[in-house]
């Protein structure tokens, strides 16, 4: 049974697809509801990034003509504390017959992975309907934000289920997962799709080493197939520091 606390905008939501319960936090702007509903920004790893995203909207939407940040609902999706690391690998990575791990993963290989399709079904068939029951959301203005493995999942979703969101924000995406399988999947998928209305922006810290080149190559790949994909490289930032520095820019992009 879902535990709803609308007063505090906190929800525990069970997923039959993932067979797990997620903690959700929701920020709603204190202003009149737009005619078509509020845009909604869905933030993966909500326990780490929800409050930051919510504060960006809360502090800037009042002067949106200057900041470019419009009033939006922010929804943080968080794994519960128990075994959070393995659950991220489970939900944010695609199913594959064989998984190749880089040498740097030795001693850190996850126990479970490959549940991205089930997590997408959770978002589409369980999370969206639950949010729509309680909040007036503009169905044409939904954004997904993810960092690291969450960034990988964001890009996976953008080609696997492109109509779920209209904007995809991938920060420091783990493109390296399973020997760069995402690039191969994109090459096989984009040339047969016609969902070019969706927008993508990649973010990466200048000091993230190989991930900078990975992001550049992926942007070029999307553009090769005439898909909208922008890239911002944050000066002087690394994998741990990049999210706070780009969040305002990311939400401003989503508000366009």
Of the listed ranges 57-71, 129-143, 189-203, the least confidently predicted one is 189-203
163 pLDDT above the threshold of 60: yes
- Reported as a single tens digit per residue, the pLDDT across 62-109 is 999 999 999 999 999 999 877 888 999 999 999 988 788 777 776 677
Cβ atoms of 48 and 79 within 8 Å: the answer is: no
Give the residue, 75 or 184, on which the prediction is more confident: 75
- The ranges assigned to domains in the chain are 3-254
Percentage of residues of the chain with pLDDT beyond 70: 94
Q: What are 128's two structure tokens?
A: 């969206």
Give the residue, 85 or 235, on which the prediction is more confident: 235
pLDDT of residue 85: 87
- pLDDT class for 126, splitting at 50, 70, 90? very high
- pLDDT class for 228, splitting at 50, 70, 90? confident
pLDDT of residue 106: 67
Homologous superfamily in CATH for domain 3-254:
Alpha/Beta hydrolase fold, catalytic domain (3.40.50.1820)
- Distance, in Å, from the CA atom of 191 to the CA atom of 205, rounded to the nearest integer, reads 30
243 pLDDT above the threshold of 90: yes
pLDDT of residue 8: 59
11 pLDDT above the threshold of 60: yes
- Reported as a single tens digit per residue, the pLDDT across 27-45 is 999 999 999 999 999 999 9
Helix and strand totals (H; E) in the chain: 9, 9
Question: In the sheet that 38-44 helps form, which strands lie side by side, from edge to edge?
Answer: 3-5, 10-15, 20-27, 73-79, 38-44, 137-147, 167-171, 199-205, 229-234
- Distance, in Å, from the CA atom of 74 to the CA atom of 213, rounded to the nearest integer, reads 31
pLDDT of residue 164: 95
pLDDT of residue 7: 42
As annotated, the active-site residues are 148, 208, 239
- Distance, in Å, from the CA atom of 227 to the CA atom of 38, rounded to the nearest integer, reads 26
Closest CA to 163 of 120, 134, 203: 120
Closest CA to 131 of 25, 7, 29: 25
202 HSE (CA, 13 A, CB side): 31
Integer angstrom CA distances of residue 203 from 25, 51, 192: 24, 19, 26
| Cα 14 to the center of its chain, rounded Å | 19
Of the listed ranges 5-9, 61-65, 176-180, the least confidently predicted one is 5-9
- Mean pLDDT (the chain) is 91
Q: What is the pTM of this model?
A: 0.94
175 pLDDT above the threshold of 90: yes
């Amino acid at each position: 049974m879902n535990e709803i606390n609308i007063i505090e905008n906190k929800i525990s939501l069970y997923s039959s697809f993932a067979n797990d319960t997620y903690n959700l936090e929701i920020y709603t702007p204190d202003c009149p509801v737009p005619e078509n509903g509020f845009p909604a920004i869905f933030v993966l790893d909500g326990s780490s990034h929800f409050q930051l995203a919510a504060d960006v909207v809360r502090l800037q939407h009042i002067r949106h003509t200057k900041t470019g940040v419009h009033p939006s609902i922010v929804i943080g999706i968080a794994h519960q504390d128990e075994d959070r690391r393995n659950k991220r690998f489970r939900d944010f990575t695609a199913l594959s017959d064989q998984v190749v791990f880089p040498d740097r993963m030795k001693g850190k290989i996850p126990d479970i992975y490959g549940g991205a399709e089930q997590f997408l079904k959770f978002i589409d068939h369980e999370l969206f309907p639950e949010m729509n029951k309680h909040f007036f959301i503009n169905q044409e203005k939904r954004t997904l934000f993810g960092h690291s493995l969450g960034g990988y999942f964001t890009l996976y979703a953008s080609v696997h289920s492109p109509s779920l969101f209209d904007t995809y924000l991938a920060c420091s995406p783990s493109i390296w997962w399973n020997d760069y399988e995402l690039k191969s999947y994109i090459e096989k998928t984009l040339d047969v799709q016609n969902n070019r209305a969706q927008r993508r922006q990649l973010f990466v810290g200048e000091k993230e080493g190989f991930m900078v080149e990975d992001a550049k190559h992926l942007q070029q790949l999307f553009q090769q197939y005439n898909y909208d994909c922008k890239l911002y490289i944050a000066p002087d930032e690394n994998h741990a520091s990049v999210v706070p520095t780009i969040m305002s820019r990311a939400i401003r992009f989503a508000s366009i």
